Structure 1
């Protein structure tokens, strides 16, 4: 694990709150010069602590009103690696997250899609035909209370 000092943690905390901060504003916030902030950000990017910058969109504004979690179990004896089973789904825009999990299923997919009809089509056209599929269970979110929350950055700075 990369050693992070209190200034690194302050920078990460500030950038998670607003990744569009100017170097000037960031330097005031963390009490370092703009050039020191720039060097630290470059190091954090190079070391992979900062993996990128993204834009968050409101799904409802784009006509995407359903968030569903699809639990997938695969027959591990019918393939070289279980990841092969879901590889085709990872390229689909509807799938915004995929995790290998413990418990009764092997993977959980987070899908954001237009409506229940589109979800049904996605399940029948994209999920059901998967090679080596053993079981699928789907749960639809009734409401989203928090999403894309910042990662915990130690407050001991």
Structure 2
């Protein structure tokens, strides 16, 4: 499907990404268009699959308390499906991407404590088909456009 987005659609999407619960009236005011137009655009974006759903973004207290890490995983090609299914069952695996380069997958891990991360890494090493991991602990975020908090106005 070829989806055409204009500048207003892109601005609307950025506002929704920042706060998907923003009232339509506020969105209309920020976009300087009618409320009914905003509602119609949102409905069209949902219908066309541009907006696939709405979710929860964790707040700063929980974010800061978490121990997060990126983990590069090398997997046997014949066992890739089973590896992904095994990783899918681990709630600490927040995101999994197939990547090019030194690893086959890059997993974003979230644990409550360093000890939990240590146990999780041991678990990952036991998954049949994973033959190498490389983990980098996230110390701080320098840029994160996915979790911008809307400012006043």
Taking structure 1 as the reference length, the TM-score comes to 0.81
**Equivalent-residue separation in structure 2 for 1:58 and 1:23 (angstroms):** 23
**Equivalent-residue separation in structure 2 for 1:75 and 1:102 (angstroms):** 15
Q: Does structure 2 conserve the Cα–Cα contact (< 8 Å) formed by 1:113 and 1:119?
A: yes
1:94-149: per-residue Cα shift (whole Å, max 9, x none)? 11111000111100100010122111111113x12212122111111122233352
**2:86 — aligned with what?**
88
More helix by share: 2
Q: Does structure 2 conserve the Cα–Cα contact (< 8 Å) formed by 1:70 and 1:137?
A: yes
Moved over 6 A (4+): none
Q: Does structure 2 conserve the Cα–Cα contact (< 8 Å) formed by 1:70 and 1:111?
A: yes
- Specify which of 122, 127, 131 is matched with residue 130 of structure 1: 127
Question: Is 1:120 the equivalent of 2:118?
Answer: yes
CA-atom RMSD in angstroms: 2.3
- Specify which of 129, 134, 137 is matched with residue 140 of structure 1: 137
**2:151 — aligned with what?**
none
Q: Does structure 2 conserve the Cα–Cα contact (< 8 Å) formed by 1:64 and 1:113?
A: no
